[in-house]
A and B are shown apart, each in its own frame.
Chain A
Amino acid sequence: MTVTLDKPADRLAPGTSRRAGGRPPSPGLAPWLMSAAVAVAVLLTAANLHGVLEGWSWLFQVAVTVGAIEAATGLARRLEWPPLTGALLGLAALVMSVNAMFLAPTSFLGVIPGPDTFAALDPLLEEARDTVVSQVAPVLVNPGVALAACVGVGLIALLVDTLAVPLQMPAISGLGLLGLVSVPAMIKPNSIGAAGFLAAAAGYLLLLGCAHWLAADGSGRGRLASSEHLRRASGIAAAGLAAALVLPLAIPGFSSGLFPEGSRLNWGAPTGLNPVVSLGDNLRRPGAFGRMTYATDAQEPLYLRSVTLENLTGARWSPSPFGGNKRTGIDELDVPGVQNLLASGEVTTTLISTASFTSPWLLVPYAPAQVSGARGQWSWDPSTLNIRGESGTTTANQDYEVRSVKPRLTRDILRAAEPANNAVVDPVFSELPRNMPDIITDTAASVLDGLDSPFEQAMAIQTYLRTSGFVYSEQAPVDGGYDQSGFDVVAAFLEEKSGYCIHYAATMAIMARIAGIPSRMAVGYAPGRPTGTVLTDGPGADLKEYEIDSRDAHAWPELFFSGVGWVSFEPTPSRGVLPAYAQTETTPGSPTQPEDVLRPTNQPRPGAGAAGEQAEPNSPAPAEDDVLSRQLWSAAVAAVVLGLLLTPLLLRRRRTSRRRAALAAGGTGRRAAVAAWVEAVDVAEDLGWAAAATETPRAFQQRLDDAGVVTGESSAALSRLRAGYERAAYAAPETPAPDGHNAARWADVEAVKGRLQERAGWKRRLAGLFWPASLFSRRPSGADGRRADQDYLA
Chain B
Amino acid sequence: MTDTTRAHPWMANSAPGAIQAMLDEIGAASVADVFEQIPQDHFRTTPLDLPPTLSSEIELKRDLVSKLKKNSDCETNLSFLGAGVWQHHVPAIVDEIVGRTEFATNVWGSYQSDHGRNQAWFEFSSQLGALLNLDVVQLPVYSWGCAIGHAMRMAQRITGRSKVIVSQLSDPERLSVIRTYCQPSAMESHIEVVMVAVDPTTGRIDINDMKSKLDGDVAAVYVENPAYLGTIETEAAEIARLARAAGAETIVGVDPVSLGVMTAPGDYGADIVTGPVQPLGVHMQCGGGVGGFIASRDEEKYVLEYNGFLVSIVETLEPGQVGFGLACPHQNSYGSREHGKDWTGNSTYLWAIAGAVYMSLLGPEGFRELGNLIVSRARYAAKCLSEVPGVKIVWPDTTFKEFVVNFDDTGKTVAEVNDLLRARGIFGGKDISGEDNALGQSALYCVTEVHTAADIRTLCATLKEVLS
Bound together: no
List B residues at the A interface (Cβ < 8 Å). none
